[in-house]
Structure 1
Amino acid sequence: MSLPTEPIGSIPRPPALLAGLADHAAGRIGRDTLDALYDDAVRDTIARFEALGSPVVTDGEQRKPSFATYPLDGLGGLAPDGVVIPFADGHIRQLPKLTRGPFRYAARSESYLRAAQRHAKVPVKQAVIAPSALSLLYPADGIDGYDQAAFLDDLADEAEADIRGALAAGAHRVQLDFTEGRLSIKLDPSKGVLDSFVALNNRVLDRFTPEERARIGVHTCPGGDQDSTHSADIDYAELLPSLFALHAGVFYVQLASEPDPDKVLATIAAQVRPEQQVFVGVTDPVDPVVETPEQVRDRVLRAAEYLPPDRLGTCDDCGFAPFGDDVSTSRETAWAKVRARVEGTALAAERLGV
């Protein structure tokens, strides 16, 4: 297939793993048993991706507690009452709050990548959380003896190490999850927060060479959790100019769920820089209806009216279960949508003659 296609990241956890997580939390099974369940889930996830013909795979984030908080897994110095993220259906997610410094990652993405590579026969990509998201851990009233500037210095160092470790371990690409970009405009229409997010992310990205940045991507979507979103009501045109100001080589842009894809594609075409490649979302994880390969094909062909095929790829709009406890989408529905994306992209490539 000459049109590349990649998953975004998470796949719903299998029932055995979900039951094991509950049993471990209740003290009914030990860590060794849970680790074996994790490994089984990763092995099965990669095998299913490969059986569907996916040219690039992920571990489905089976081991992560969530796409956003994996660096905090096991970290002390946190309080539970951090930033609240409200979703359109009324439910919330809440980040923890840092209570002391210095800030250090307790877990790095390289460990997930190496565990996945043991099972994969095709390239593996690795999703990481953008430093801008973790900047929200710092409390508004500050931390005695650890000012925000010192925290951001530490955060930039830790984020760089997380990305660099995955690149050095052989990740096909490292994808920064930047769902807070669109949300920031909802919380601050002046875009001051968005500007600070872009500046922080570029502070990290600028530490990499142009060749390395060609393997670093940024994913944007309006959030996806329990079949709801947190910022789909924000006009994409408000975000996209700032998005493409990020110094990354690849962008994964949610599009399948957009009501006016032509408007979004025209904005992308006007903003994307010559060295940047765009993967457009062609399946919607929030929608329980499974797309057909022909629907995917037509979405790709529409995108090709705005972007040249040699700079175009496809992806899912977002992960299918970015938070470990999200069971709103079944594992089988996710695989059906992955199949449609892979097959539909191939149909579009054939139609485009590439």
Structure 2
Amino acid sequence: MKTGSLTVVGTGIQLVGHLTLAAKASIEQADKVLFAVADPVTAKWLQTLNVTAEALPYNTNNQRRTETYREMVDRILAEVRQGLNVCAVFYGHPGVFAYPTHEAIKQARREGFRAQMLAGISAEDCLFADLGLDPGRNGCQSFEATDFLIRRRKFDPTSALILWQIATIGNLGFYLMKRYQEAFADFHRAIELQPDYTWAIAHRGVTYRFLGEAYYPKALGDLDRAIERQPDYVWAIAYRSRIYELMKCYKQSLIDFDRAIALDENILRGKNWQIEKGLLLCYDGQYSEAIACCEQRLQQIADDTTALYCIAVSKARWQGVDKAASEIERSRTALLAQLKKGLQHTRFCLKR
């Protein structure tokens, strides 16, 4: 057995009071404590138990939830691999709706490290106490809410039924984990249950995209249907633009692109819409328009390397490489400056 170990514990639901003695001892005795808890008071208290306590990366944006989970697992395993006895602390019961805890333990064991989970107090335990409910009397069933609706889980109406995560019903689940066949099956099932479910129709359309080029027409069919039902569905409009782009139907793509941006300039999530439109215009052979669009971006950020690249490519395609020499050099100079700046920053961090 390798040196280094992992113990996963839960803080329970109630501040401090729900922490078990075994969990507290594991935190105090660990070489390194990593935590993901629900409030800053608990975080500070954990740091009084063990000075090594440090928060795990945690992004509350649902669109990046699975990426955050992977970052958590990587962070935990990085400490274990250094030969440290690591205690990972999570809110509630560490094994209930906590993907990174189970994944970290599985991965640690696969790599030959000792790994265990200590039970904690979950929301379900509190529910039994608060409502005076004894699950042993008539039984109790527990399902995740979206799974319950989509998969038509069978349940006994004479016993208690608990549905978890009502607030996140409709979360993309399999889609975000890139398990597209399973995501498609779920969206399809949701539409069978509710044929006018616009959200599921649009997301099934986008899932078609990831099943391959042969499915692009079906993707358009679903997105058309969703947009027809909800004309201001900006997310669906933006994705339809993307499907048209992949099909090299650039004029149709530009129409949807302009429509989406008119509804929400931030729909592209971190990408600049002027550059993206410039690239589309370039693909469509509208080179002067593409250059003008990217020049607008340069008025905001003079050394934007992507905008400069788009201008250089548009000029080269339009008038030839020789006449685009100055634009190409300008783009190259900006890119080299950016790379140099990145290297200097890296050296500074290493010195620290």
- What TM-score do you get using the length of structure 1 for normalisation? 0.30
Larger relative CO (CA 8 A, sep 6+): 1 or 2? 1
Larger Rg: 2
- What TM-score do you get using the length of structure 2 for normalisation? 0.30
